[in-house]
Amino acid sequence: MHTYFLGLSLVGYDALWGRMIRSGVAGSVGSVKRTGTFPNGDVLRTSFTGISGFDQFLVPAVIFYNNILSNGSSADRMLLVSLFTTMQTVSHCMLVLGWDRGKRPPLAILEHLSWGVFNQAWGAAAVYPLYCFTHIERFLDDAHGSEKSDVGPSDVNEAFALVPTAILGAITPAMLLYPAFSSSCTTGQRQGLIAFYRFTPLALAVAHPACCWGQRKLSAYLAWKPAPASAKAYTMASLMFSGFAAAAGHLWALLGPSEGGLRRVFWPAEYIDKASTTVIADGARDFLQWDIFVITAALVPFADQVLKSSALLHRLKRRKWFSTRSTLSRCRTGIFTGSEDGFMKLS
């Protein structure tokens, strides 16, 4: 499987960056960076943080996304919703898989941050297969062993903090989706949101430690302590919430846009006219469509291997749907029972 993921990463890199160069889109992006004006007349904003050297790293993303977020295409909106909800769910899964047999290595936060930054810089089609390549050995070893290991933390406080972290991750795509759906969003606001979306890997990397700290403070204030046995339920609840958010995004996209049908949403065009005023939006659409194809090819076999090696997910895989609901029920019961005890002690 190592060769498969490594080869897929190379395929993804060519599908993204090779196609951008061959189609002339990369040249158009460079032209906008030099002139400060988009083919459709939009003016490029280049100041975001006040640190000019740092702002230059944000400009390419602003150029890339500006037109596809403002063209009013329902098909492009569907594509954006589908892809960005997926990527935030993948980010949450990467976070959960950072625990090995209940323990999280000291550098796991930096690793999670690095994958997020790397993904935004080079594209999911190139980066996600590479992530699978570097992590598949662990799950191959676990799958061949006699004992299955649980994913996520064994510490209940760390597991509980995964739930608000998943919620935060699910709503972060709104930073990019708002300009696509709001007619009142100005060009400057849109480009500012694109630029600051680049900080989401940092925000999500520190979100879990911050939620852990906040949960411990709140527990001490309420004299509430979640039951140790709830760690698995909290972990599963966070994964299910994050997964449902992505599933909702996909379902909404599959309902179909008003023009072009699903082909317009997901299927790359055969030709991009580099003389068109929409050349950058067309290139961005092509880039994101190839993202979906390649990351699907990477994540399906990787997720299957995780299922085979994980005790928690292995049990869930064998159970029926009502057992999944019972997991959420146990999680909810643990929260409310603990809260009730805390309030009783306060009164």
Cβ proximity of 112 and 95 under 8 Å: yes
Mean pLDDT computed over 40-67? 93
- 80 pLDDT higher than 60: yes
Higher pLDDT, 290 or 257: 290
| Out of 42-46, 103-107, 200-204, 310-314, least confident range | 310-314
- 186 pLDDT higher than 70: yes
Mean pLDDT computed over 59-87? 92
Q: What is the pLDDT of residue 333?
A: 43
- Please state, in angstroms and rounded to a whole number, the distance separating the CA atoms of residues 40 and 210: 42
CA angle 303, 308, 312 (to 5 degrees): 90
Q: What is the pLDDT of residue 144?
A: 57
Q: Which of 135-139, 175-179, 194-198, 317-321 has the highest mean pLDDT?
A: 194-198
- 254 pLDDT higher than 90: no
- Please state, in angstroms and rounded to a whole number, the distance separating the CA atoms of residues 65 and 77: 12
As a whole number, the mean pLDDT across the chain is 85
- What percentage of the chain exceeds 90 in pLDDT? 57
Mean pLDDT computed over 200-220? 89
Return all residues near 179 (Cβ < 8 A) that are at least 6 apart. 69, 70, 185, 189, 190, 193, 194
For residue 74, give the nearest of 257, 288, 280, 263 by alpha carbon.
Answer: 257
CA angle 168, 174, 175 (to 5 degrees): 100
Higher pLDDT, 182 or 127: 127
What's the burial of 322, exposed, middle or buried (CB within 10 Å: 0-12/13-18/19+)? exposed
Q: What is the pLDDT of residue 23?
A: 92
Mean pLDDT computed over 80-99? 93
Confidence of residue 334 (pLDDT cuts 50, 70, 90): very low
Higher pLDDT, 80 or 220: 80
Mean pLDDT computed over 113-124? 94
Q: What is the pLDDT of residue 105?
A: 87
157: number of Cβ within 10 Å: 18
- 243 pLDDT higher than 70: yes
Cβ proximity of 236 and 262 under 8 Å: no
What pairs with residue 100 in β-bridges?
103
Q: What is the pLDDT of residue 340?
A: 37
Q: What is the pLDDT of residue 345?
A: 35
User: What is the per-residue DSSP string for 66-91?
Assistant: HTTTTS--HHHHHHHHHHHHHHHHHH
Cβ proximity of 212 and 128 under 8 Å: no
- What percentage of the chain exceeds 70 in pLDDT? 84
- 173 pLDDT higher than 70: yes
Q: What is the pLDDT of residue 302?
A: 94
Structure tokens at 142: 């676990």
Q: What is the pLDDT of residue 143?
A: 55
pTM to 2 decimal places: 0.85
- Please state, in angstroms and rounded to a whole number, the distance separating the CA atoms of residues 343 and 14: 58
Structure tokens at 119: 């993904």
